[in-house]
Amino acid sequence: MLGSIKQYVFSGVRGHYKDETNRRIVVVNLFAAVGMSITFLLGTRAFIDAEYPLAITLYTASVVFAFSQRIQVRFPSPKARTLSVSLLIFCLMILTLLLLITGGKDNTGPLWIYLVPPVTMFFAGFVRGLITLIAYTIVSAIVLFGFDESTFVASYTYAFKTRLLYSFLTVSFLSAFYEYSRQKSYDTALYLSEQFERQAKHDHLTQLLNRRGAQQCLEREYAGMLRNNRKLSIAIADIDRFKRINDTLGHEQGDEVLRQISNVFSSRLRAQDVLARWGGEEFMFIFTDTDEAGAVKALEYIKDKLNKAPLNINGSDIHVTSSFGVSEVSADVGISCAIRLADQALYYAKDNGRDCVCAASSLDTQSLAKN
């Protein structure tokens, strides 16, 4: 029994949805269940009391509540969720307006209109909820004051109608204020969470992905490579004689060198390729849909551009070079192995003159063992 209830409450919830989306799905499930149950029970009582029009109205509302819940479960999409919520709000509003007109049981029908503001604000959000509530308030005012008393089944005193409308406006205002505050708090929390997540994955100096972000990107691209049988290559670049630059210009200017070189590297990449700061003066390139030869060609182009474009540091031009080690990732050569091979190729390039691109496949076993 408890398992079935839990399954119903969390039906439609998905792990990849945002917490706010899943929370709304759960609330829709609960509200639909409560609305369906109450309207069915009240409809049954009205039927027993031979109040057939009221019974039919309540039974219809019960069916609509159930149907709206099934929509978001059977069709998991933003449009379906919007339709589901719209049906719930529309059904609630029509039902309460009918109860306002007919009086319901012993003229207690108008009491149900206080459900409208909080439900509408929660499901529709502040802006759409406010517009919807304004329209509902206008219609309710027309129903209460725009017709002769003889046109209604129920009869209310003027004092009751005015106090009903004033209290409804008060509840609407409080619901709108609460929803506005809740959305602002949620947006702020979401923004801070995204900022913290970005800081955790990005290098503060170059604004590139850091080592952690690069690892996550590699895992994602590797999974896509295996799934779609694509090519994937990586490269590690190291700034030549960077310690000399730091010792000569100072660490602050050394940081500026890293920033400018990261701009040179990233400006020469395709949109689908990724550049990350791997650590210190090392950078990692992730080339999607590219074999080792293609990565070597791209890096030769980047190396030549770096050689021909001196960096401007404090008004002075300085020439900086970089060495590159390249390796192709495959089903047989996983991420860790490819990183190790690229690192070995990089050290081979550094030991053999610097300012060059070295592919791991071009090195023999003896060279790799030495490095």
Q: Is 281 a catalytic residue?
A: yes
Regarding whether 223 and 146 lie in a shared domain, the answer is no
pLDDT value of position 153: 64
pLDDT value of position 149: 62
Domain boundary among 198, 225, 243: 198
**Phi, psi of 115, deg, nearest 5:** -75, -25
Which residues, 6+ apart, have CB-to-CB distance to 216 below 8 Å?
Answer: 201
Distance CA(36)–CA(60), nearest Å, equals 10
**Phi, psi of 13, deg, nearest 5:** -75, 135
Residue at token pair 């609460």: 178
Region 258-271: what's the mean pLDDT?
Answer: 92
Regarding whether 107 and 180 lie in a shared domain, the answer is yes
Region 7-31: what's the mean pLDDT?
Answer: 80
CATH number, domain containing residue 255: 3.30.70.270
pLDDT tens, residue by residue, 330-348: 999 999 999 999 999 999 9
User: Does residue 140 belong to any structural domain of this protein?
Assistant: yes
pLDDT value of position 77: 83
**What residues does 316 pair with on adjacent strands?**
313
pLDDT value of position 180: 92
Regarding whether 145 and 265 lie in a shared domain, the answer is no
Regarding whether 363 and 232 lie in a shared domain, the answer is yes
Range of the domain at 147: 2-198
pLDDT value of position 368: 44
Residue of 179, 221, 281, 292 marked catalytic:
281
Regarding whether 128 and 226 lie in a shared domain, the answer is no
Model-wide pTM > 0.85: no
pLDDT tens, residue by residue, 148-179: 666 666 788 889 989 999 999 999 999 999 99
341 by Cβ neighbours in 10 Å (0-12 / 13-18 / 19+) ranks as: buried
Long-range pairs for 80-85: beta carbons < 8 A, 24 or more residues apart: 81/21, 81/24, 81/25, 81/28, 84/28, 85/24, 85/28, 85/123, 85/124
Regarding whether 264 and 187 lie in a shared domain, the answer is no
- Look at strands 322-329 and 357-359 and give their pairing: parallel
Regarding whether 233 and 174 lie in a shared domain, the answer is no
More confident residue, 146 or 276: 276
Region 194-204: what's the mean pLDDT?
Answer: 83
Regarding whether 216 and 161 lie in a shared domain, the answer is no
pLDDT value of position 108: 83
User: Does residue 83 belong to any structural domain of this protein?
Assistant: yes
Regarding whether 183 and 146 lie in a shared domain, the answer is yes
pLDDT value of position 152: 63
User: Does residue 104 belong to any structural domain of this protein?
Assistant: yes
**Mean pLDDT score of the chain, rounded to an integer?**
88
Amino acid at 71: I
More confident residue, 108 or 136: 136
Q: How confident is the model at residue 75 (pLDDT cuts 50, 70, 90)?
A: confident
CA distances (Å), 112 to each of 100, 146, 171, 216, in order?
9, 21, 12, 52
pLDDT at 279 over 70: yes
Mean pLDDT lowest among 18-27, 57-66, 300-309: 18-27
Distance CA(267)–CA(302), nearest Å, equals 9
Region 77-101: what's the mean pLDDT?
Answer: 87
Domain boundary among 198, 219, 242: 198
Helix H or strand E encompassing 325:
strand 322-329
pLDDT at 111 over 80: yes
Number of domains in the chain: 2
Q: How confident is the model at residue 237 (pLDDT cuts 50, 70, 90)?
A: very high
Q: Which of 96, 116, 91, 112 is nearest to 172 (CA)?
A: 116
User: Does residue 205 belong to any structural domain of this protein?
Assistant: no
Q: How confident is the model at residue 295 (pLDDT cuts 50, 70, 90)?
A: very high
Regarding whether 243 and 194 lie in a shared domain, the answer is no
Q: Which of 132, 136, 163, 158 is nearest to 145 (CA)?
A: 158
Region 291-309: what's the mean pLDDT?
Answer: 93
Q: How confident is the model at residue 365 (pLDDT cuts 50, 70, 90)?
A: very low
Regarding whether 220 and 183 lie in a shared domain, the answer is no
Distance CA(116)–CA(121), nearest Å, equals 8
pLDDT value of position 1: 67
User: Does residue 203 belong to any structural domain of this protein?
Assistant: no
Mean pLDDT lowest among 12-21, 103-112, 256-265: 12-21
pLDDT tens, residue by residue, 348-364: 999 998 999 999 998 86
pLDDT value of position 369: 42
**What residues does 236 pair with on adjacent strands?**
284, 325
Regarding whether 168 and 59 lie in a shared domain, the answer is yes
